[in-house]
Amino acid sequence: MENALELRGVSRTFKGFALQDVSLDLPAGTIMGLIGENGAGKSTTIRLIMNALARDSGEIQVLGVDNRSREFLSVKDDIGVVLDEAHFPELITVRQVNTIMKDTYRRWDEALYFQYIQRFELPEKKAFKDFSRGMTMKLAIAVALSHHPRLLILDEATSGLDPIVRDEILDLFAEFTREEDHSILISSHIISDLEKICDYIAFLHQGKLLLCEEKDRLLETYGIVQGELELPEEAVAGRQKGKYGTKTLVRRDLVSSAIPVEKAGIEEIILFLVKGEQVQ
C-alpha cells in the first residue's frame, strides 16, 4: 500500500459553507499537517474521512479501502482517532476506559495504555467530568495509540496542552511514524507545531485546498526579499508593505542570485500566499 489516505474530488455542502473538490494523498510512513483558519473545513474533512459525515461527491480510500465499504469497519481497528470534541461518559475513570477498550479493539494493549497514563500523569480514579481540556486530550491520545494503529487521525489534538506537554506529544507522534507503514493526518491552526513534525502541509482556506505540498519543497521553493528591490513579476508570490518596509515572498528559482533571499518559515509562506498583496 502506497497511500494511507486518498481523497479525490471530495465535496460537502452545508448551509453557508462548502468543502469543495478536495483531493490529496497521504503517503504511507509520512505525517501530513492539515492547516487552516477557524471554520476552514478541517474537522469536516476529518469527519468525511472517517465516514462520520456523508460526502456529496468524491472518493475516499483509507488504508486502501473505500470508507463506505463493509471492509472499512474492520479497517477502523487500524486507525487511532482523536477528535477535537473528544468525549467520554461523565463518570468514567481511566481504569474503566481500559475495560471498555479491551472489548472494543482486537489489539488493545493494556500495558501500553497504562504506560501512557503514567507518562501523561493522568489520575486513574478521577471521573472524566473533572478532567481539564489538556487531560481529556491526553486520555484520547493514550487510547488512540494503545490499540497499535497504523494510521493516526488527529483533529486539533495538541490544542489546550501546555507547551511542554505539547512538545512531548509531538515527539511521540514523530516516534510513531518511525515504523515505515505508520502515517498521521493531524489538523491544527498552530502552524509552528505542525512545521516541526510534518512531511507534508495541506492548507485549507474557506473550504478549498489551496496547497498540498512537501514541507521541504515549500521551504526550498520560497524565500523572503526585504526592501523595495526590483523583482521579476513572475517571481513574486506575495508582498507586505508595513511600517518597517516591504517584504516580498519570492520563488527562489526566478530571482537573480545577486539579490539576497532570506529563509521563509511555513507560517510566513502560508500567510503571504493567502493574503497576496497587502499593505499593513
Ligand X SMILES: Nc1ncnc2c1ncn2[C@@H]1O[C@H](COP(=O)(O)OP(=O)(O)OP(=O)(O)O)[C@@H](O)[C@H]1O
Which spans of this chain sit near ligand X (rule: CB under 6 A)?
Answer: 14, 17, 36, 38-44, 84, 189
CB of 187 to ligand X, least distance (A): 7
197 vs 78: CA distance, rounded Å = 21
User: In the complex with ligand X, which residue's Cβ is closer, 206 or 246?
Assistant: 206
CB of 90 to ligand X, least distance (A): 23
First-to-final CA distance of the chain: 47
154 vs 105: CA distance, rounded Å = 18
166 vs 158: CA distance, rounded Å = 6
User: In the complex with ligand X, which residue's Cβ is closer, 30 or 43?
Assistant: 43
Crossing angle for the helix pair 94-104 and 133-145, nearest 10 degrees?
30
CB of 134 to ligand X, least distance (A): 17
Dihedral sign of CA atoms 85, 170, 121, 144 in order: positive
CB of 87 to ligand X, least distance (A): 15
User: In the complex with ligand X, which residue's Cβ is closer, 97 or 266?
Assistant: 266
* Cell triple for 180: 515505515
How many distinct helices (H) and strands (E) make up the chain? 9, 15
186 vs 173: CA distance, rounded Å = 10
27 pairs with which residues across the strands? 3
User: In the complex with ligand X, which residue's Cβ is closer, 30 or 44?
Assistant: 44
CA-based angle 140:146:151, to the nearest 5? 85
Locate cell 500567510: which residue?
A: 271
Are the C-beta atoms of residues 154 and 186 closer than 8 Å to each other? yes
User: In the complex with ligand X, which residue's Cβ is closer, 189 or 251?
Assistant: 189
User: In the complex with ligand X, which residue's Cβ is closer, 40 or 63?
Assistant: 40
CB of 166 to ligand X, least distance (A): 16
CB of 28 to ligand X, least distance (A): 25
User: In the complex with ligand X, which residue's Cβ is closer, 148 or 189?
Assistant: 189
CB of 99 to ligand X, least distance (A): 31
Burial (CB < 10 A; 0-12, 13-18, 19+), residue 53, is middle
Tell me which residue of 49, 2, 27, 48 sits closest to 183, measured CA to CA: 27
